Amino acid sequence: MSKEDYLGHPADFRVKYRFRTEAEGGRKILPSQGGYRGDFLYEEDDRPDATIYMIHPEFENAAGVPVPEDEQAEIEGTARMWILVDKMRPVHRDRIRPGVRGFIVEGSRKVASVEVNQVLGLHTSQLPRIKLSGDHSCRKCGGKWPSPGPIAHGVFRLVRDLIDQHRPIHAIAELRRRTGCSLTSAKGVKHHLGTMDGRCHECNTALDGPSPTDCSSCGAFNYWQGADERAERAVTFCDSPEMTQ
Ligand SMILES: [Zn+2]
Ligand SMILES: [Zn+2]
């Protein structure tokens, strides 16, 4: 699954990169896609006390598609770049444009040279910082919690999996991290996620209508995703949230 599918918004920008060889002081082994956490340094900042930014690469194949998590990056190619710290995005909006050069760094070590070749979602990405647009409530359990706003499909799947694996605390943490919602909201969502095949979390009745919806049988509130939406739609579960920067 690409980061875009997972997060429901595009990467910030794309670079051409080239890893340094071992002879040039680079890595012995090229990194694999999964879990790689190289950071970013602007070439014009390059000095010993320079600020290094948490902007992580997602390596692409020759067709511009992210390589699978368990595969290695090529020695050179293109990568999508993801700004991890939302509040830093305005800084990079002023600096990132095609032709800007920099490095992928691991600690103080420069392991690859990069050049920005395309700006992607940098100026348009609004990560879900939700101004709450109202409360959700459940007729079945009487619970009430603030709306979490939109939840990307990949996040739904991840959270559903964690709940199914009996890891509720992890599920709540991931919901909060990936949607920016409050703890109360995340707990409400966690208790009210429909099953992956579109059934009520309480009574297993097939759900109908746009998400979120009350179960027609037991009345329980359900966040869910219909079978036809599962493949391509990135973001559902939204009841007109107000987005803020
Ligand atoms: Zn309930
Ligand atoms: Zn039900």
What domains are there in the chain, each with its CATH number? 3-119 (2.40.30.10), 130-243 (no CATH)
Residue 178 has pLDDT above 70, yes or no: yes
CA of 215 to the centre of ligand 2 (A): 5
Cβ-based neighbour number of residue 187 at 10 Å: 18
pLDDT band for 29, please (50, 70, 90 cuts): very high
Task: Give the integer Cα–Cα distance in Å for 178 and 86.
Answer: 11
Confidence bin at 226 (pLDDT 50/70/90)? low
| CA–CA distance, 168 with 161 (Å, rounded to integer) | 10
- With a cut of 50, say whether residue 240 has pLDDT above it: no
How are beta strands 213-214 and 242-243 bridged, if at all? unpaired
Is 12:96 a contact under the CB 8 Å cutoff? Answer: yes
How remote is the CA of residue 162 from the centroid of ligand 1, in Å? 19
More confident site: 243 or 29: 29
Find the 118 Cα to ligand 2 centroid distance in Å: 47
Compute the distance from residue 218 Cα to the ligand 2 centre, in Å: 4
Q: Across the chain, what does the average pLDDT equal?
A: 84
Question: Which of the ligands is closest to the CA of residue 199?
Answer: 2
Model confidence at 83: pLDDT above 50: yes
- Counting ligands in written order, the one closest to the CA of 207 is 2
Alpha carbon distance 112, 99 (integer Å): 16
Torsion over CA: 41, 47, 48, 50 (sign) = negative
- Confidence band, pLDDT 50/70/90 cuts, at residue 89: confident
Do 190 and 175 contact (CB within 8 A), yes or no? yes
**Rg for the chain, CA atoms, rounded:** 21
Q: Report the relative pairing of strands 109-119 and 101-106 from DSSP bridges.
A: antiparallel
Q: For ligand 1, an ion, list residues with CB under 5 A.
A: 138, 140-141, 143, 220
- The Å distance, Cα 197 to ligand 2 centre, comes to 14
CA 141 to ligand 1 center in whole angstroms = 4
The residues placing their C-beta within 5 Å of ligand 2, an ion, are: 200, 202-203, 205, 215, 217-218, 220
Distance 46 CA to ligand 2 centre (A): 59
Ligand 1 center to 163 CA (angstroms): 15
Distance in Å, CA 202 to ligand 2 centroid: 5
Whole-number pLDDT of residue 86: 75
Distance of CA 171 to the CA centre of its chain: 15
Given this model, what pLDDT does residue 102 score? 98
CA angle 112, 55, 176 (to 5 degrees): 150
Q: From 73, 69, 38, 71, select the one nearest 59 (Cα to Cα).
A: 73
Q: What is the mean pLDDT of residues 17-34?
A: 94
Confidence of residue 100 (pLDDT cuts 50, 70, 90): very high
- Residue 241 pLDDT exceeds 60: no
Distance from the CA of 7 to the center of ligand 2, in angstroms?
29
User: What tens digit of pLDDT does each residue of 118-129 get?
Assistant: 999 998 875 444
CB 120 within 8 A of CB 14: yes
